[in-house]
Structure 1
Amino acid sequence: MKKNILITGCSSGLGLALTNLYLQKGYKVFGLSRKKPPIENKDFEFKQIDLSKTLKIKKLLEEYLLNIKEFELVYLNAGILGEIKTLDLLSLDEMKEVFEINVFANKEILDILAKCKVEKILAISSGASINGSKGWASYSLSKAGINMLINLYAKELINTKLYAIAPGVIKTPMTDYIRFEIDEEIFPSAKRLKEGEIQTPKEAAQRVDKTLEKLETIPSGSFIDVRKI
């Protein structure tokens, strides 16, 4: 029997690269996102869902995921950046929009997965969750939130290993926006991203997958930066 993997945000970026990687490895991949990725594979099963509608997630996903029953691996990958701006210009509504997808949607999915048999859950976090950068408030706070959410669930889902993992900087429309559209004189992080290491989604997916080999010695609930292990 093929092993099951669940990937949220499977239609682009790291999520799409992870989906393709595990299909190539012969896994059965279940993908969740708003848009269907351009994948035609008998081992790929797609379910359309808007994870920003957090109050509908359990109604739309619970029966579906419980019918699958078992997952070797889950990637909670779906997330958004939000607009880069100073805190005085950032509204609560803008922050809530980012938190809905980056934190609250994952809480709802984790509640469902608690009723399934799951070996490992990896929530995609970011170095921004540790290193606050000017203008990144919504993203940094939400990723710090997912780190703690994983830490807390690890104390309750004792039969599952959970980790928050920062995959490093990936070339996506999100990072292109920061590198090429943000004024680096106002927001120094834009310059750092331009000058630092950047991976393709495929490279990042392979790097994250290789990190799985090192997780056995790392306590469940930990935050991991792939660049530091």
Structure 2
Amino acid sequence: MPKIVLITGGSSGIGKAIGEYLSERGYQVFGTSRNPEKITNSSFPLLKMDVNDTISVESVISEIINKTEKIDVVINNAGVGITGPIEETPESEIKKAFDTNFHGPINVIKAVLPQMRKQGFGHILNVTSIAAYMGLPYRGIYSASKAALEITIEALRMETLQFGIKMTNIAPGDFATNIAAGRYHAPELKDSPYKKDYGNTLKLMNEHVDNGNDPLEMAKVVHKIIETENPRVHYKVGSSLQKFSIVLKRVLPDRVYERMLLKHYGLK
């Protein structure tokens, strides 16, 4: 019997690439989308789900279990981007980012754990971000929401290990997806003291996404992790420079690392 895989945010970008790659290799994949009726080119079923709506989360989990009697793998991929000076970012948008990037995956995990505990096995993979390892200027809320998920999964992994459940964090760098188009951008206010720096940083961030790696790279890593008997807690997927930046943060004095980031974003 094939492994049953649930991917949140499976209609585009990284989620779609993972779903297609796994489907081609014999996995039975279910993706989710808030508006699956708008997607006409998916090679695997898309179920209607909003990770912020616990009723819809529980409904989808139950639907899959009723059809297949198990769930082997859950990939928490659904997420949103957010940029802007923290001072000028509306509180409502900060809450929305944390709802989707942090509370959403936790909602999914809570809904699927009883089934995985009953099975005595399961693997939950959480797509975080290399940005979770550092506070990035004008992307601080995004970094914080993903960092919160990274740390929480470290704890949850230890709590659920006794039930035969595996948990893994996968932190991607910049990939060529449509995340920039769907990201919340705090408006570039005409009289803002951050106007120049924020505008330049926003342009640079969008260029990084446009020139990012192929999402297929993430799909291949996810497949390898799923097939690994004892996966690591953390994986990083991205350019050598992006992964090396995490190492530098560990070894460099804080102010030296801060100056490096300031120079990278042209803020010095």
For the residue of structure 1 that corresponds to 2:114, the secondary structure is coil
After superposition, residues 9-88 of structure 1 pair within 5 angstroms as: 9-36=9-36, 37-39=39-41, 44-52=44-52, 54-67=53-66, 68-82=68-82, 84-88=83-87
Deviation at 1:193, TM superposition (A): 6.6
For the residue of structure 2 that corresponds to 1:114, the secondary structure is helix
Kindly provide the amino acid, as one letter, of the partner of residue 215 in structure 2: P
- 1:163 equivalent in alignment to 2:162: no
More helix, by proportion: 2
C-alpha distance after superposition, 1:16-68 (max 9, x if no partner): 11111111111100111113243465xx333111223x343455335325434
- 1:90 equivalent in alignment to 2:103: no
After superposition, residues 44-193 of structure 1 pair within 5 angstroms as: 44-52=44-52, 54-67=53-66, 68-82=68-82, 84-117=83-116, 118-158=121-161, 159-175=164-180, 185-186=197-198, 188=201, 190-191=203-204
Deviation at 1:132, TM superposition (A): 1.2
RMSD (Å), alpha carbons: 3.0
* Matches of 1:12 and 1:185, distance apart in 2: 31
> Could you tell me the percent identity over the aligned residues?
25
Partner of 1:194: 207
Kindly provide the amino acid, as one letter, of the partner of residue 167 in structure 2: L
Kindly provide the amino acid, as one letter, of the partner of residue 92 in structure 1: E
Q: 1:7 touches 1:77 (CA, 8 Å); kept in 2?
A: yes
* Matches of 1:109 and 1:125, distance apart in 2: 15
Deviation at 1:92, TM superposition (A): 1.7
Alpha carbons of structure 1 residues 147 and 103: separation in structure 2 relative to 1, 3 Å? same
Alpha carbons of structure 1 residues 75 and 58: separation in structure 2 relative to 1, 3 Å? closer
* Matches of 1:40 and 1:205, distance apart in 2: 16
What count of residue pairs does the alignment treat as equivalent?
220
5+ residue gaps, structure 2: 189-194, 245-268
5+ residue gaps, structure 1: none
Bigger CA drift: 69-78 or 54-63? 54-63
* Matches of 1:97 and 1:195, distance apart in 2: 24
Alpha carbons of structure 1 residues 216 and 33: separation in structure 2 relative to 1, 3 Å? same
Q: 1:81 touches 1:98 (CA, 8 Å); kept in 2?
A: yes
- TM-score normalized with structure 2 length: 0.71
* Matches of 2:206 and 2:227, distance apart in 1: 28
Alpha carbons of structure 1 residues 90 and 193: separation in structure 2 relative to 1, 3 Å? closer
Deviation at 1:3, TM superposition (A): 1.4
Task: Report the structure number with the largest CA radius of gyration.
Answer: 2
Kindly provide the amino acid, as one letter, of the partner of residue 223 in structure 1: H
* Matches of 2:75 and 2:104, distance apart in 1: 13
Deviation at 1:124, TM superposition (A): 0.3
Deviation at 1:174, TM superposition (A): 2.1
For the residue of structure 1 that corresponds to 2:169, the secondary structure is strand
